[in-house]
Amino acid sequence: DAVQYCERSGVWLRDEKGDRKIAAIGIRFAKGVTMHGFALNVNPDLSWFDKIVPCGIPDAAVTSISAELGRDVPISEVIPVLEKHIYEALARVSA
């Protein structure tokens, strides 16, 4: 199960392995322009995160769907599921 922290942006997994960020979500308003972004770690090379402190949070790690499931997950498997959930969430908000 994913959790959200008020003090940390994004989507996190928390269990006996510790806190791991699996997705980033951002919204910014500047000079009358709204910018937004969404990143879901599906199957990235996580070794790049060893070279930085992700999100400036030294006590947390980064993970992916593939790492959590223990198998390579292709993006083509994720897109239909993600589209369905985003559509349902937006339908609830706009209702």
The per-residue pLDDT for 39 is 94
23-74 residue pLDDT tens: 988 888 999 999 999 999 999 999 999 898 887 888 889 999 999 999 999 9
The per-residue pLDDT for 10 is 84
| Candidate list 24, 40, 55, 78, residue with the active-site label | 55
Q: Which domain holds residue 72?
A: 2-94
> Under DSSP, is residue 59 helix (H, G, I), strand (E, B) or coil?
coil
Q: Can you tell me the distance from the alpha carbon of 26 to that of 23, in angstroms, rounded to the nearest whole number?
A: 10
Largest CA-CA distance found in the chain, in angstroms, rounded: 44
The DSSP symbol for 48 reads G
Q: How confident is the model at residue 76 (pLDDT cuts 50, 70, 90)?
A: very high
CATH of the domain at 87: 3.30.930.10
Catalytic residue flag (residue 55): yes
Domain count, the chain: 1
> Under DSSP, is residue 70 helix (H, G, I), strand (E, B) or coil?
coil
Residue with tokens 């959200």: 4
Inform me whether the pLDDT recorded for 92 exceeds 80: yes
Lookup: tokens for 86: 């985003």
